[in-house]
Structure 1
Amino acid sequence: MTFLDDARAAARLLEGVATLTPVESSRALSQVAGVPVLLKCENLQRAGSFKIRGAYVRMARLSAVEKSAGVVAASAGNHAQGVALAAQLLGIDAVVYMPVDAALPKIAATKEYGAEVRLHGRSVDEALVAARAEAERTGRVLIHPFDHEDIVAGQATIALEVLEQVPDVRTIVVPLGGGGLAAGVQALVAEVAPHVRVIGVQAARAAAYPASLAAGEPVPAAELHTMADGIAVGTPGRVPFEVLRRHACEVRTVSEEDLSRALLLVAERAKLLVEPSGAAGVAAVMAAPPGDLEGPVVVLLSGGNIDPLVLLRVVRHGLAVSGRYLQLRVRVHDTPGALAGLLRELASVGANVMHVSHVRTGVDLEIDEVEIEVQVETKGPDHCARVLQHLRDDGFRLAEH
């Protein structure tokens, strides 16, 4: 059986389970890339991400004996919800190990689907160690988040849909963590549409694939410190790694600033809510040099399960790196009306003050000085420059930070 046959069989299993998610054109991204860019909205998928595809296919193909033994999984959130929902639909008992700092909404959603959640370790890799031990101890079947042929086949159903929805697609950009999604897309495209370029995107601060591909085998990432927890995987899976290595899949990395800018753009311009890992492909398109991508480009928005508190931090970070949020330290004489004067000047140039604080004690402050920390909202980089120049021209001593 070819991989296309396997992916089509997976698609039949997913009928009535996974949603045919829409593909939306993005004028903003098309302007950035210089070619048509479309978004495949897996953030609108059941359980909030593409993960239900692979999880359900893997679990539906278990034998009756395996199903009766139950399953165990490890995940930072999206695979957890996919496994929990698939278990509910198939009548299988499920235990899911999640890192202790997993997002609370993801933990709550996993429990609501009926799975037992156990918190263990600081990363998916550490949670996976506990899940494997549970499988060996109890006989439960481990449903790996990415390292299994059925998982890869399930994720490949996205590529089937993309090729039908955008038949002239030339580039598909895919968030890349452990590799199940990218491997499914790459394997399907290599067989059916080899002219289509697939690009996997990792967070630079959690990027195991570049070094692994260079070494010819999976090696651990040098660090795992990224807001994109959905793709923060320490070591590539052997099954997806072999697929991506064999087909020479291109892998790029994006910075935390790239991710926050991308999330902000998707929210503002596409009116879609995605998590940082789900915006990795958008970040890569925004960071690509002019003329680099052949269109039409389809970017997979892999998930939309974001903690509101994380969303708040990321949006503020995105505003800052986009030049829409300015933090200043201004020194003035500690006299009545000094603060009012500063605020009046900021208002005169259209800077919206969000927060103000006084610092009266410091080794570098004179006895009659006070340092005012001000956070202001601006209209972009040019406006930031005008605000700073206006204050300097008016005699204020300031330091941007």
Structure 2
Amino acid sequence: MGFSQAQINDWQIRYPILNDVMDLKPVFWTNPRLKKVEDLSDLQLSRKDIEEAEARWKRFAPFLATVFPETKATDGIIESPLKEMSRLQASVFPKVSGNFYVKCDHKLPIAGSIKARGGIYEVLKHAETLAMEAGMLQENDHYAVLAEDRFREFFSRYSIGVGSTGNLGLSIGIINAKLGFQVNVYMSADAKQWKKDLLRENGAQVLEFSGDFGEAITAGRKKTNADPNGYFVDDEDSRDLFLGYSVAALRLRKQLQEKNITVDADHPLFVYLPCGVGGSPGGITFGLKMVFGDHVHCFFAEPVHSPSVLIGLVTGKMDEISVQDLGIDNRTEADGLAVGRPSRFATAISDQLVSGIYTMKDDALYRLLAAMADREGMFLEPSATAGLAGPQRAFPYINNHISTSNQTTHIAWATGGALVPAKDMEMFYNKGKSLE
């Protein structure tokens, strides 16, 4: 829906931060509606839902270990390492106190991005539902049977559609190559060519749109829902995507325990998450809040050209407003974050859970990309570096809320990069170096 200039002018007066947002200036916003966990209401989900999603992941582990050899070492569990960033912290963020880690979701098996958590989970859940309804599968079966040809033939009768800027489509296309669904990926102009090529190599049909993510997802939803055997993975309104991401909190708790890292009132945890439509950072934030309660503080990071979740939360209009309504073009080099309108489902939940949001210019993302490569030998795609600036950008919040900052743990969520072709990564790196 559109908004009148008078209404926009009124918002600029009521919410002065919008003036800088509309001028494409980096901002930091503290969420005034953040609630304590005990005061949360109408979330639609609970800790039990997260545990059920984790149980489903475990049921599918034998299948994943069978069809993706790279997951055999973890017995079919898709998970990423947690790595300390001491060299980056010392050279780039020396004023940041506490321990600084990166959650390496760019190294997630199969899809090489955070979307392996949500996209793969939702497709697996859909496959399980269809197979059970057909009497081909029971919950106590050994799910490795799903690798048999009879299941591929069965799933080939059904189609899956998804709108994507790249990584979500990739996760679905790659898992589908082992299941057999007909997959149609509706991609925005922001999507990188190599992601489109890789999807086609995995048997997906790629439909390209000249507009942004909003146009692609609207067209994909309409066409898929017209197919009686079609199923649309809706990044703007998906409960299952959200829950797939939320399981990361249970996995992170175990990793922190293994490193003897305590999370409590005297040892708070700060987590910084790159944000596009809001599903993956929202799902992870929900999971973390259910696991660590008020001792975890989560922040979203968006490009200055695509601050969709920020404006949705600031104005209270959630998914009703797009960045284009405020005259912002939604054009960013951070293709995974190039989203003009936030998720309906995720944003309503994040409204009570996220501590704040900050925005960044593309050049800052490239500089962080080069710094990570030089200091830590870790290569990320531009959108995945947004969380690295979190400890510095959230410093005012930390100072105001935490009295024992030397006992804090910071985690930047690295969301993608493992599948980026070497020539593209070299181009990203060279651009970052040229901006130093």
Q: For this structure pair, what is the TM-score category when the shorter chain's length is used for normalisation?
A: 0.7 to 0.9
Q: Does 1:220 align with 2:333?
A: no
| Aligned position for 2:202 | 113
Unaligned 5+ residue runs, structure 2?
Answer: 1-43, 65-76, 135-154, 264-268
Contact 1:29 1:285 in 2 (8 A): no
State the Cα RMSD in Å.
2.4
| Deviation (angstroms), 1:286 | 4.9
In structure 2, the residue matched to 1:54 is 118
Distance 1:251 1:235, change over 3 A: same
Residue 229 (1) aligns with residue 335 (2): yes
Residue number in structure 2 paired with 1:196: 296
1:371 corresponds in structure 2 to none
8 Å Cα contact 1:262/1:286 also seen in 2: no
| Number of the residue aligned with 2:29 | none
Compute the TM-score of the two structures, normalised by the length of structure 2: 0.68
Structure 1 segments (4+ residues) deviating >6 Å: none
Matched position secondary structure for 2:121? helix
CA contact (8 A) 2:285 2:354 kept: no
CA contact (8 A) 1:42 1:300 kept: yes
Q: Give the TM-score taking structure 1 as reference length.
A: 0.74
Q: Match for 2:349: what amino acid?
A: V
User: Of the candidates 271, 276, 284, which is equivalent to residue 172 of structure 1?
Assistant: 271
Equivalent residue, structure 2, for 1:42? 105
1:320 CA drift (Å): 3.0
Larger Rg: 1
Shift of 1:289: 4.2
- Determine the C-alpha separation between the residues in 2 that align with 1:310 and 1:225: 19
Compute the displacement of 1:202 (Å). Answer: 0.8
Following superposition, the deviation at residue 2 of structure 1 comes to: 5.6
1:106–1:88 Cα change, 3 Å: same
Hey, what's the Cα distance between the residues in 2 that align with 1:7 and 1:27?
32
Does 1:71 find its partner at 2:151? no
Partners of 2:158 and 2:317 in 1: CA distance: 33
Aligned counterpart, 1:163: 253
Residue 386 of structure 2 aligns with an amino acid whose one-letter code is A
- How far apart are 1:248 and its partner, in Å? 4.4
Cα contact 2:299–2:354 (8 A) shared by 1: no
- Decide which structure has greater helix share: 2
SS, match of residue 197 in structure 1: strand
Structure 1 residue 107: Cα displacement: 1.1
Instruction: Give the match's secondary structure for 1:166.
Output: helix
Instruction: Tell me if the contact between 2:161 and 2:233 (Cα under 8 Å) persists in the aligned partners.
Output: yes
SS in 2 for 1:48: coil
Deviates more, 1:34-43 or 1:129-138: 129-138
Q: 2:429 aligns with which of 302, 315, 334?
A: 315
- Farther-moved stretch of structure 1 (211-220 vs 28-37): 28-37
Q: Distance in 2 between matches of 1:5 and 1:91?
A: 31
The 1:100–1:192 alpha-carbon spacing in structure 2 relative to 1, beyond 3 Å, is closer
Letter in 2 for 1:96: V
Partner in structure 2 of residue 372 of structure 1: none
1-side partners of 2:179 and 2:48: how far apart? 23
Distance 1:192 1:274, change over 3 A: same
Pairing 1:4–2:94 present: no
What is the rounded CA distance, in whole Å, between the counterparts of 2:272 and 2:350 in structure 1? Answer: 14
Q: Secondary structure at the match of 2:411?
A: strand
Q: Which residue of 2 aligns with 1:130?
A: 219
Supply the distance in 1 between the matched residues of 2:212 and 2:354 (Cα, whole angstroms).
28
The one-letter code matched in structure 2 to 1:102 is A
The question of whether the paired residues in 2 share the 8 Å contact of 1:173 and 1:198 is answered with yes
Contact preservation (8 Å) 2:163, 2:187? yes
1:340-355 correspondence runs (5 A): none
Q: Distance in 2 between matches of 1:160 and 1:151?
A: 16
Alignment match, 2:21: none
Relative to total residues, which structure has the larger strand share, 1 or 2? Answer: 1
| CA displacement, residues 224-281 of structure 1 (integer Å, 9 cap, x when unaligned) | 1211110111100110001111224411111222211111111111212211111110
Aligned counterpart, 2:81: 22
Q: Is the 8 A contact 1:7 1:153 kept in 2?
A: yes
Count matched residues: 322
| Structure with greater contact order relative to length (CA < 8 Å, sep ≥ 6) | 2
CA distance in 2, matches of 1:289, 1:190: 21
Cα distance in structure 1, aligned partners of 2:121 and 2:79: 16
- 8 A Cα contact 1:258 1:287, kept in partner: no
- Paired residues of 2:221 and 2:234 also in contact (CA < 8 A): no
Do the aligned residues in 2 keep the contact of 1:14 with 1:53 (CA within 8 Å)? no
Q: Which moved more, 1:63-72 or 1:224-233?
A: 63-72
